Structure 1
Amino acid sequence: MTSFKNKHLGAGIAALLVMANITSLPAAAHETKLPLGDGQVSSQPKQDHVYSCKTRFNPNAPGARGSGGWIKGDYWYPELKPKVDGDVVWSNSQIKVQLSGNTRQIRANNLPSHGTGVYPVKRNDDAYRYDRNPNSIRSQSINLELPANPELASRASCVPMGMIGVALTGAAIYNALDARGDDAPAHEIQDECGGHPERRGQYHYHNGSDCMIEQDPGPGKHSGLIGYALDGFGIYGNQDRDGAHLSNADLDACHGHVGAVNWDGQLVTMYHYHLTDEYPYTLGCFAGTPVRGR
């Protein structure tokens, strides 16, 4: 299948690209095998875990019907997992990010700036054997009022099921869990850009994607901003300033650290989150005070 790689940009996202130095996120250097995150759900901040607001999961909840040869023991192999076919273009993709005093306003319709697979998954798609996602991608209204200069909370807080952040592609970012409390990127079948819709039609990612775009990379080879968490802190790609790929060992339990990043056109030393190739992929908890996602 052909990789989307931001071939299609809607008018709304195109306006954002004009306002900032935004480029395609470098292709992720996927490891041959990744540790499976099943069971790594905690009731408090904990390294390599998701501190989840939801504590009870239904093992029979709707989702993938089974797993194939890409899961072997305690590891999974991304290259072996099928992807949902298709290249649906969302020409009406819209996202607008602007500062108003101490507030960062984000308005988006949740339609991604890149192509997506065909949902519901078709019967003749190889992915249908494992995940018969019956949901259609539908426009959503994302209206966020985030702190422009977020601060660390006195204690970390749990991440909910559903949106925990928004990517600069205009699509939602979810935590690493599926409805059964398992490792979603490992078990669920996504499209070429690593996304899929839930029952209301909200297209979302559970981990990093080659189709994400990054804004203002640097200093050095440090990854650029790929989106914002609901507590206002930035989410960056998986490289440090030397170009090395970050792992959980480089980050705290919430999947972030303090360091120099480009933030609103200035080089600032501040707390920020990072994507990693390993579970929990995005956020393990909120280090700041989150707003309600809507």
Structure 2
Amino acid sequence: MKSNALGIEKAIAVSCQRFVDKGGYLLWNADRNILDRAEDRLEFSFRYCNDRGLIIYQQGEGGSYFALGVTEGRLYIEASIEDRVVEIFIGESTQDVVLKNQTHEVIITGLRGLDSDMRVTINGTEYPPQILTVVSVELSFSSPAMRGPTLVGGYKNIFDLRLNTQRLKAYPIACIFYIRTGAGEDLEPVPLTSADETQGVLDTCTVCPQPSTISMTTLTSYIEMQIDKQPTASTVINFRFRTKALNGLLLYFGGPAYLAVYLRNGALVLRLNTKTDSVRGQTLTFNEDRGLAKENKMRSLLLLCALTVGTLALTPAEIREFKVRDVVEHNTGLKGSVTVTEGTDTITIVSNAIPDHATPTYPRPGNYFPIVPQNLRITVPKNPQVANQTTCLNMGAVGVAINGVPIYNPFSLECRDASVYETLDQCDGHPSPQGEYHYHIHPDCVFDGTSTHSQIVGVAADGFAIYGPVDEDGIVLTNADLDECHGRMKDGVYRYHVTNEYPYFMACYKGVVRPDSGVDDGQFQCMCPIYPDGTSDIENSDPYPYPTPQDLPPLNFFNDNDLPNDLQLLNGLQQMHDQHQHNGLQQLATSVRSAPLQDNPTQQHQQLGEGDTAQPQPLTLYQIWQQHQPTCQEWQLQQWKNFERAFQHWQQQQQSLHRPATAQDAVKNTQFRPRAPFRSQ
């Protein structure tokens, strides 16, 4: 340490060590400014007992803050200055630079720029800063922007923190020996004994307590301990037990919300109830030999289907990212707008869906719809819930980007990969038939990509945040890193992640969508069908293996040259402008030999006489159409009615033009013969 011995002794004498228990904190009001000049030099000494937690937090005006703490064996610094967030680890990810139950003396100089000029020494060893987000900022604890309350050793209310990540959102158990700030050798101690508000603070620092040992020797004995905490998704239980029993309660933790661990037929069961009537259990199977010592570390995070996840849908820092740039969209002459309103249990995003970036002129070839201002209103739960089972994505908006533009599922109207079979502009968006501009894939015009890890992209209708493809460690995520809904759980927080692979944003809802969410929950759409190996075309030839959604041919519903102007948009089906297609709807028509229209179509059966040979019966139009569609019945039935009306209109059109009017004749007159998704007879 560079301070002289007299200065150290004086600082320790004035500061006095303080033990901050779990759930405790030291708080100084804004007028104290106890971290003055810490941007030049910050020294502190501490010892901690648990995995992670906040050591120093300075809140500024607006969205500014500075946070320093411990996570995963390393020091971690996070700050937001003028809406620019900096995230810095001290030390390599492969090394523990701070250890539990050991005293550490830390010296940090050059904090002002929060960049590579920082120098960090821990117990006399210098460790390099690992900067995750490289931005240009200037930190000054004496500036008006950073004048706010200061917290040491914990936090008063997690909802008051402005942290961008979950890394420090944990109560530490720590002993703070001293904190001092200044420049060079001129250091001022932080008066740890004269905080304006304290909770859970003791004057004497002790070593970290050892885990409690509980012994029970009879069938009816028990030990009860009063704990004022409720189990959440970040609750960690460490226990070791020995028993000859195959059934019985081991641990019950909680009140209205509870966590129970018990044996059932020799298997260990963890069951969580999150203040609802629904209970989900996770069974972990062990060796059932009687008398075997069993040892396990369990996290309630394993319960991915528990109904409540212990985190906010959007943190305050994430909410501040919902804003638009000062750009006039030239098609409408309007600027985009987006507002976020917090309720007791909900967060509501309202926007006009006007993009805040350049767009081509609409309508245009490949997309015949103008951009129209919308009244987009999406309400998400403040505390999102992981559902018992995933839910199909609806058509229309499934979320909203931080600039207020809606996010759609990966499908076109014809259940094809939208990025392949629809025309997207240079910013990866386009308007819907209703004029709603939206994204199907990651919009490059919205995000500059300068950060070493991705920022928030938007929020899904179930309340979970959507982030970009680069994680906190700078690793580019792929579909292999994500679950069935295109997201993952990390540190007790579930997030969706955008990738450059289909399905891009999301594949399904992992959480529970509120009835008042504002999304169109009446038209759910599952993944496109995958046709099995051996599927034949209409002529029982050319068998082909599994096609992926990207490989399926596009469905062209209408040729706009053959339709009067007022019918160029029929039943919400997007017309495709193709001068080479003379017969609308002919792709599905060619899949049919005889296709009577039926409200409730069934396979027709042929009456056979003696000596007759059974012939394969043609499928009805509905049956052929049905096998092109996803499996969600609500969406499927609605789309069938749309398609049926469109097909009837096509028949009438062909008759008026003196063209073949039956599906069988349409097959003979078509220019191509697409494959039909049914097995050969």
TM-score range, shorter chain: 0.5 to 0.7
Equivalents in 2 of 1:103, 1:181: separation in Å? 32
Residue 118 of structure 1 aligns with which residue? 361
Residue 178 (structure 1) aligned to one of 385, 388, 412 = 412
| Cα displacement (A) at 1:174 | 0.5
Q: Tell me if the contact between 1:227 and 1:235 (Cα under 8 Å) persists in the aligned partners.
A: yes
Matched residue count: 195
Residue 190 (structure 1) aligned to one of 424, 428, 440 = 424
Residue 284 (structure 1) aligned to one of 483, 497, 507 = 507
Equivalents in 2 of 1:144, 1:175: separation in Å? 15
Q: Tell me if the contact between 1:169 and 1:213 (Cα under 8 Å) persists in the aligned partners.
A: no
Larger strand fraction of residues: 2
1:111 partner amino acid? I
Answering whether residue 460 of structure 2 is matched by residue 229 of structure 1, we say: yes
Q: Tell me if the contact between 2:379 and 2:518 (Cα under 8 Å) persists in the aligned partners.
A: no
Q: Tell me if the contact between 1:254 and 1:285 (Cα under 8 Å) persists in the aligned partners.
A: yes
| Cα displacement (A) at 1:21 | 4.3
| Cα displacement (A) at 1:188 | 1.2
| Cα displacement (A) at 1:186 | 1.3
2:430 partner amino acid? H
Q: Tell me if the contact between 1:94 and 1:110 (Cα under 8 Å) persists in the aligned partners.
A: yes
Give the secondary structure class of the aligned counterpart of 1:186: helix
Residue 158 of structure 1 aligns with which residue? 392
Residue 99 of structure 1 aligns with which residue? 342
Q: Does the C-alpha gap of structure 1 residues 206 and 22 become closer, same or farther in structure 2, counting only changes over 3 Å?
A: farther
Residue 61 of structure 1 aligns with which residue? none
Q: Tell me if the contact between 2:428 and 2:439 (Cα under 8 Å) persists in the aligned partners.
A: yes
1:234 partner amino acid? A
Residue 208 of structure 1 aligns with which residue? 442
Residue 139 (structure 1) aligned to one of 348, 352, 373 = 373
Percent of aligned positions that are identical: 38
Equivalents in 2 of 1:136, 1:104: separation in Å? 30
Equivalents in 1 of 2:363, 2:85: separation in Å? 31
Give the secondary structure class of the aligned counterpart of 2:506: coil
| Cα displacement (A) at 1:144 | 2.0
Larger helix fraction of residues: 2
Q: Does the C-alpha gap of structure 1 residues 213 and 242 become closer, same or farther in structure 2, counting only changes over 3 Å?
A: same
Q: Does the C-alpha gap of structure 1 residues 93 and 19 become closer, same or farther in structure 2, counting only changes over 3 Å?
A: farther
Give the secondary structure class of the aligned counterpart of 2:499: coil
2:336 partner amino acid? S
1:289 partner amino acid? V
Answering whether residue 453 of structure 2 is matched by residue 242 of structure 1, we say: no
Q: Tell me if the contact between 1:89 and 1:115 (Cα under 8 Å) persists in the aligned partners.
A: no
Equivalents in 1 of 2:82, 2:340: separation in Å? 10
List, as ranges, runs of 4+ consecutive aligned residues in structure 1 with deviation greater than 4 Å.
18-23, 86-91
Q: Tell me if the contact between 1:159 and 1:284 (Cα under 8 Å) persists in the aligned partners.
A: yes
Describe the superposition over 1:116-166 as per-residue Cα deviations: whole angstroms up to 9, x where unpaired. 121100xxxxxx3xx2x1100000101122111212011110001111010
Q: Does the C-alpha gap of structure 1 residues 107 and 191 become closer, same or farther in structure 2, counting only changes over 3 Å?
A: same
Describe the superposition over 1:14-66 as per-residue Cα deviations: whole angstroms up to 9, x where unpaired. xxxx995489xx9xxxxxxxxxxxxxxxxxxxxxxxxxxxxxxxxxxxxxxxx
Equivalents in 2 of 1:192, 1:167: separation in Å? 17
Q: Tell me if the contact between 1:238 and 1:274 (Cα under 8 Å) persists in the aligned partners.
A: yes
Q: Tell me if the contact between 1:168 and 1:214 (Cα under 8 Å) persists in the aligned partners.
A: no
Give the secondary structure class of the aligned counterpart of 1:201: coil
Give the secondary structure class of the aligned counterpart of 2:480: helix
Describe the superposition over 1:78-120 as per-residue Cα deviations: whole angstroms up to 9, x where unpaired. xxxxxxxx97585421001232222111111111111212110
Equivalents in 2 of 1:256, 1:97: separation in Å? 23
Question: Taking CA–CA contacts closer than 8 Å with sequence separation of 6 or more, which of the two structures ends up with the larger relative contact order?
Answer: 1
Equivalents in 1 of 2:399, 2:484: separation in Å? 17
Give the secondary structure class of the aligned counterpart of 2:393: coil
2:393 partner amino acid? V
Q: Tell me if the contact between 1:223 and 1:237 (Cα under 8 Å) persists in the aligned partners.
A: yes
2:339 partner amino acid? K
Q: Does the C-alpha gap of structure 1 residues 19 and 172 become closer, same or farther in structure 2, counting only changes over 3 Å?
A: farther
Unaligned runs of 5+ in 1: 1-17, 27-85, 122-127, 261-268
1:115 partner amino acid? A
Give the secondary structure class of the aligned counterpart of 2:380: strand
Equivalents in 2 of 1:230, 1:214: separation in Å? 25
Q: Tell me if the contact between 2:331 and 2:371 (Cα under 8 Å) persists in the aligned partners.
A: no
Equivalents in 2 of 1:214, 1:258: separation in Å? 26
Describe the superposition over 1:215-265 as per-residue Cα deviations: whole angstroms up to 9, x where unpaired. 9x7xxx4311110100011000111112121110000010000125xxxxx
Q: Tell me if the contact between 2:394 and 2:519 (Cα under 8 Å) persists in the aligned partners.
A: no
Q: Does the C-alpha gap of structure 1 residues 214 and 286 become closer, same or farther in structure 2, counting only changes over 3 Å?
A: farther
2:489 partner amino acid? V
Equivalents in 2 of 1:153, 1:203: separation in Å? 29
Q: Tell me if the contact between 2:486 and 2:506 (Cα under 8 Å) persists in the aligned partners.
A: yes
Give the secondary structure class of the aligned counterpart of 1:240: coil
Equivalents in 2 of 1:135, 1:198: separation in Å? 7
Equivalents in 2 of 1:136, 1:271: separation in Å? 36
| Cα displacement (A) at 1:172 | 0.8
Equivalents in 2 of 1:99, 1:213: separation in Å? 25
Q: Tell me if the contact between 2:339 and 2:350 (Cα under 8 Å) persists in the aligned partners.
A: yes
TM-score (norm 1): 0.61
Q: Does the C-alpha gap of structure 1 residues 222 and 89 become closer, same or farther in structure 2, counting only changes over 3 Å?
A: farther
Residue 519 of structure 2 aligns with which residue? 293
TM-score (norm 2): 0.27
Equivalents in 1 of 2:507, 2:425: separation in Å? 24
| Cα displacement (A) at 1:271 | 0.4
Equivalents in 1 of 2:333, 2:461: separation in Å? 25
